[in-house]
Every structure is written in C-alpha cells, then in structure tokens.
Amino acid sequence: MATHIRHRKTRIVTLEQGEELMAHCKPNDIAIVPDPDGWWTCFIAEDGSVDKYDIPFPTYNEALWSAKAAAEFAAE
C-alpha cells in the first residue's frame, strides 16, 4: 500500500514492490520506488513524464533524505 508524506508542500509517495507509479502519483510528486537493486527517487513532471537518478540508493532512508532535499530545493 502506497504511503505519502508532505515536505515543504511537495508530496513524497513511497510505493511497495510491484505498485504502479502513475496509479499513485500525480505531477510534481516525488516517488520512492523499491526494486531488487535498491530504492529509486523518481520525479513526476507536469506533463506526467518521470525522471530519476542514474542509480538507486541502497537504503530507503537515503532515498527519503534525497527526496526531502529535492523538496527543499523546489520550495525555494
């Protein structure tokens, strides 16, 4: 079950393995998505396109810290 928090007016959505990104996210959300290689931090643009970092983070906490930092930057 996807969960979300709000940080600096940005919604950060954490998905579980196998959940569809666009079923739970909307434009301007940041998603944290697990896969066997780690935790991906994904950014959903206004047009619905998705961008993410080149490699996943090894832990959920690192992905969450990254998402919060991006939310801080977006709030400026």
Domain count, the chain: 1
pTM value surpassing 0.95: no
- Which tokens go with 64? 């969450």
Mean pLDDT of the chain, nearest integer: 92
Amino acid at 62: E
Q: Which domain holds residue 41?
A: 3-75
Beta bridge partners of 31: 13, 42
**pLDDT tens digits for range 24-36:** 999 999 999 999 9
